[in-house]
Homo-oligomer: A and B are copies of this chain.
Amino acid sequence: MSKLPIVTIGLCGLGTVGQGVWKHLARSRADFAARLGVRVEVRRVAVRHRRKARGVAVPASRLTDDPLAVATDPGIAIVCELMGGTGLARRVTLAALARGKIVISANKALICAHGAEIFAMAEKHGGRFLFEASVAGGIPIIKVLREGLVANRFPRIYGILNGTCNYILTQMSARQRSYASVLAEAKALGYAEADEALDVQGWDTAHKACVLAWLAHGVWVRPDQMIVEGIERITPADFHNAAVLGYGIKLLAVIARDFSGNELSVGVHPTLLPTRSVIANVGGVFNGISVTGDVVGPTLYIGRGAGQDATASAVIGDIADALALLRLDRGAGIPPAAARAAGGDAGAAPSLAPARHIRSRYYLRLTVRDQPGVLARVASIMARRHISIASVIQHAAEQRDAASLVLTTHESNEHAMDGALRTLARLRSVLEAPLLLRIGDFDA
Contacts and interface: CB of A to CB of B under 8 A. Distances in A.
A332 B335 contact: no
Given A140-B147, A313-B149, A340-B34, A301 B300 contact: yes
A76 interface: no
A225 to B, nearest CB: 24
A151 B328 contact: no
B344 A34 contact: yes
B296 A151 contact: no
A343 interface: yes
A293 B320 contact: no
Interface in A305-347: 309-310, 312-314, 316-317, 320-321, 324-325, 327-329, 331-335, 337, 339-340, 342-345
A146 to B, nearest CB: 9
A31 interface: yes
A143 interface: yes
Contact of A296 (B33, B281, B309, B327): B309
A238 to B, nearest CB: 23
Contacts of A24: 151, 295
A35 B310 CA distance: 29
B34 A321 contact: no
A324 B146 CA distance: 12
A28 interface: yes
A315 to B, nearest CB: 8
B151 A140 contact: no
A304 B152 CA distance: 14
A266 to B, nearest CB: 21
Nearest to A335: B35
A431 interface: no
A340 B35 contact: yes
A68 interface: no
Given A35-B335, A147-B143, A333-B324, A299 B293 contact: no
A332 B332 CA distance: 7
Interface in A115-162: 132, 137-140, 143-144, 147-152
A375 interface: no
This chain: how many copies in the complex? 2
Contacts of A87: none
A302 B235 CA distance: 32
B332 A324 contact: yes
Contact of A278 (B299, B302, B324): B302
A28 B296 contact: no
Contacts of A335: 35-36
B343 A320 contact: no
- With most chain B CB atoms within 10 A of its CB, the pick from A148, A310, A339, A345 is A148
Contacts of A148: 132, 140, 143-144, 314, 317
A30 interface: yes
Interface string A340-382: 1011110000000000000000000000000000000000000
A320 B334 contact: yes
A319 B297 CA distance: 19
A298 interface: yes
A287 to B, nearest CB: 10
A30 B30 CA distance: 40
Interface string A282-301: 00000000000101111111
A300 B303 contact: yes
A309 B295 contact: yes
A387 B131 CA distance: 50
A317 B31 contact: no
Given A316-B150, A316-B151, A344 B278 contact: no
A281 B278 CA distance: 8
Contact of A317 (B151, B325, B333): B151
Counting from the closest, the 3 A-B pairs by CB-CB distance are A34-B343, A140-B148, A151-B316
Given A24-B151, A34-B342, A149-B317, 7 more contacts: A140-B148, A151-B312, A151-B313, A298-B304, A299-B303, A299-B304, A332-B333
